[in-house]
Amino acid sequence: MLDHRDRTAPPQAEANLRERVERQLRLDILAGTIGPGTVFSVPALARTLGISTTPVREALLQLTADGLLQPIRNRGFRVLDPTLDELRNLFEVRVQLEASAFAKLVRAGPGAAGDLAAHADEIARAVRADDVPAYLAADRAFHEELLARAGNPILTGIVMKLRDRMRLYGIRSEAGRARQDASVAEHYRIVDLVCGRVEADAAALMTSHIMAWEPVFTQAVLDRQSG
């Protein structure tokens, strides 16, 4: 839960609050903690968080621009219900971009593990602790660092936006937790490829690493729609 703040906070403090509200709401929406159809009222959410309406409104507008919310006249913002086609399209575009970027990185030659190894360790700790929010944060940081190493900030920005639109329904299911566990070794293998310690098809590894999540998310969406 966000800390209560002075409603007359200076601009920089309000910017920080906006980022915190946006980050937490995004995580809750993507993980399915806040379900489709949920309506946010700016004044009500601001009262709940104990902050001014400005950072709340700006956070909700950003999530709307990112395709997670829909403005409702005189009511607020509604969490959109993604379709299976949208989910599959996101997987298709993301895997093409991220797999090619990873292959380019590996072709460039061995690099240092650095933050990648640290993020992989955080992912492993999160899985052992059964801490889904920590897993999501560490996984996002890992892939952002990996993409940044490919040297194309435009591509990095596009892929991270795609990731931030993917609904992670089913991540807390039995299949989702099994997938998290399996991904631990995959993240370390990705680090090994970056460091040149193993020979493998980088694009194929990244493709399977990403696409292994698709049946988990797809089944969760189907279950929710039929429930």
Q: Which segments of the chain belong to CATH 1.10.10.10?
A: 11-79
pLDDT at site 43:
94
Return d(Cα 80, Cα 100) in angstroms, integer.
30
Q: Is 73 helix (H, G, I), strand (E, B) or coil?
A: coil
Q: So what's the architecture of 11-79 in CATH? A: Orthogonal Bundle (1.10)
38 HSE (CA, 13 A, CB side): 15
76-79/39-40 β-pairing: antiparallel
Produce one character per residue of 92-104: b if its CB has 16 or more CB atoms within 10 Å, e if not: eebbebbbbbbbb
Q: Which segments of the chain belong to CATH 1.20.120.530?
A: 84-226
pTM, 2 dp: 0.83
Return d(Cα 167, Cα 30) in angstroms, integer.
4
Q: What is the DSSP letter of 2?
A: P
CATH classification code of 84-226: 1.20.120.530
Name the residue with tokens 């990705």. 190
Alpha helices in 41-173 (DSSP H): 42-49, 53-65, 84-107, 114-129, 132-149, 153-163
Q: In a structure prediction context, what are the per-residue pLDDT tens digits for the chain, which is 227 residues long?
A: 344 444 455 556 667 889 999 988 988 888 878 888 999 999 999 999 999 999 999 999 999 998 899 999 988 999 998 888 999 999 999 999 999 999 999 998 898 999 999 999 999 999 999 999 899 989 999 999 999 999 999 999 999 989 888 888 889 999 999 999 999 999 999 999 999 988 789 999 999 999 999 999 999 888 877 76
Q: Is 35 helix (H, G, I), strand (E, B) or coil?
A: coil
pLDDT at site 11:
59
Distances (CA, A) of 167 to 5, 195, 197: 30, 31, 34
pLDDT at site 22:
93
For Cα atoms 19, 23, 29, give the angle at the middle one, nearest 5 degrees: 145
pLDDT at site 89:
94
